[in-house]
Structure 1
Amino acid sequence: IAHGLTSSALFCLANINYERTSTRTLILTRGWQLTMLLTTTWWLTANLMNMALPPTTNLLGELMIISALFNWNKTTIMITGLTTLLTATYTLHMFIMTQLGKPQTKNAMPPTHTREHLLMTLHLVPLMMLILSPNLLI
C-alpha cells in the first residue's frame, strides 16, 4: 500500500512538471524551490517516503522484505542492500536535479492549482496516517 501511494505520488508530481513545462525532461524544472515552494515541499515529502525514511511505512515494508529474503537465501542480502542503496541515491539525485539550483528557463510559471495540491494531499496524507497506525498493514 505504501509503495503504491508513494510511486503514484511521484508519477503525479512528474505529470505536474510535464503540464507546466510541456516536456518530459525533469531537469528543465530545475530551480522550482525559488518559484514553487509548495510543489517543492510535495516533492521532498514524496521522495523521503520513497527512500523509506524512518518512521514511514515504506521502511517497515522494506525491512520485512529484506528479512524474508535473508531467511530465504543469505546471499541475497548483498543484492538487496545494493538495490536499496541505488534506489535511495537515485531518489535523492532526482530531487536535487529537479528542484535545486538555477532555473533553466526564463519563462514565468503559472501559479499552482488547488487540484494539484488536493491530489498530492490525497496521496500523502494516507501515508502519514499509516505512520500512526502501521498495524493496519501487518
Structure 2
Amino acid sequence: LLKLGGGGIIRITPMLNPLTMNLHYPFIILAMWGVVMTSTICLRQADLKSLIAYSSVSHMGLVIAASLIQTHWSLTGAITLMIAHGLTSSVLFCLANTNYERTHSRTLLLARGLQLILPLMSTWWLIA
C-alpha cells in the first residue's frame, strides 16, 4: 500500500503542477521530517517486524519527497526506490519469519548471536 500511494502521487502531481508550484515545498519538508522521525523511532525498536515496517515508512517518505520535486532524475529515483523496496521488504519479512521460527520470538535481543549459529541467514540479511 505504501508503494501504491507513491505511485499515485507520481501520477497526480503533474496534473496539479500549475496550481501548486510553490505549495510543494512544505510537503517536501514534511516528508523529510517524517523520514527523520521514523528513522529515530527505528533506533528504539525491539521488535523485528515493527523495525522493518517503520523503515519502510521512512523509505516511502523519501519517495514522496522525490516525486514532489518532479524532475526526471527525482522521478526515476522514486520509481527505482519503490521497486527496490518492494523486492527488499519481502525478503526482509521472510527472513524475520525465519528468525521467528528459529527463536520463537520477534525480539531483537533474543536474536543476538545468530550469525554464529546460522551464517547463511546472516548473509541473506546483509544482501537484503
Does TM, scored on the shorter chain, surpass 0.5? no
Where on the TM-score scale, by shorter chain, does this alignment land: which range? 0.3 to 0.5
Larger RCO (CA within 8 A; separation ≥ 6) = 1
**Higher share of residues assigned helix:** 2
TM-score by length of 1: 0.37
Which structure is larger by alpha-carbon Rg, 1 or 2? 2
Normalised TM-score (structure 2): 0.39
